[in-house]
Amino acid sequence: MSALLVSMLFLSLAYAADAPGVSSETAPSPGGFADMALVPAGEFWMGSPEGEGYSSERPRHKVYLDEYRIDTTEVTTAQYREFAKATGRQLRQQPCPDSANCPVLYVNWDEAQAYCRSLGKRLPTEAEWEKAARGGSEGRYFFGDKESLLGEYAWFWDNSGRKVHHVGLKKPNPYGLYDVYGNAQEWTADRYDATYYGRSPRKNPKGPFEGGDRVVRGGSAFVSAELCRSAQRMKGPQLNRYSGRGFRCAASTEL
């Protein structure tokens, strides 16, 4: 059975947990951009070259992005809990023991975007996510092409014990981002289209205008090293909640 199929076995029903708090459309924002990395403006190679990865990752193409910020870690359960209480949302029971500092899971795309917007941020575009994950590299991973080094930077199938862990325990990438290759998959802002790279704009692409699925990036504790590459992309139904999926926020620097 492939690692991708095995990972889908971890899909489970969401369980109601924390009682909702005060009803409000937005949670109190702490303000500022603490704990966000600054990714400089410029070009990078997006996607995989011929002979590597999957067809949806091709053609490999150059993309220019304006400067932006992105969270150094995935949003944690403790962070999301405050938002859920303030907005009357439910926080699903988390599978991670002592989950406060684990990435929040069972969050659908709408909830992830609402959390980011409550802080004056947003979900990263697919291109922003990949550029940040690459950390200036052009290889399969930001540290090169050797899968044997992945355990130093990511919780994945071989070392996770089939569970997520606290954020920030592994080594960061050159931009200071943790867990981009493992622990939890991450929602991005873009709609998914397997053929989008063939017509993607060169500057600040934001994905196709139509489609019911969203792009999911990054590996997780439940997938193999092959599914943790910088260019690897998957699709997720917008309302789907998955035990191995979380998110991080981004922000344009002019905000």
Q: What is the CATH number of the domain that holds 126?
A: 3.90.1580.10
Reference 208, options 124, 126, 152; nearest CA is 126
Average pLDDT estimate for 153-157: 98
pLDDT digits (tens, 9 = 90+) for 30-72: 345 789 999 999 999 999 999 999 999 999 999 999 999 999 9
28, part of any domain? no
Number of domains the chain is built from: 1
- Which domain covers residue 60, as residue numbers? 3-14+33-252
pLDDT digits (tens, 9 = 90+) for 72-119: 999 999 999 999 999 999 999 999 878 899 999 999 999 999 999 999
Answer whether residue 21 is part of any domain: no
Question: Is residue 26 one of the residues assigned to a domain?
Answer: no
What is the tally of helices (H) and strands (E) in the chain? 4, 11
Q: Considering Cα of 214, then 220, then 225, then 231, what sign does the dihedral take?
A: positive
Amino acid identity for residue 20 in this structure: P
Reported pTM: 0.87
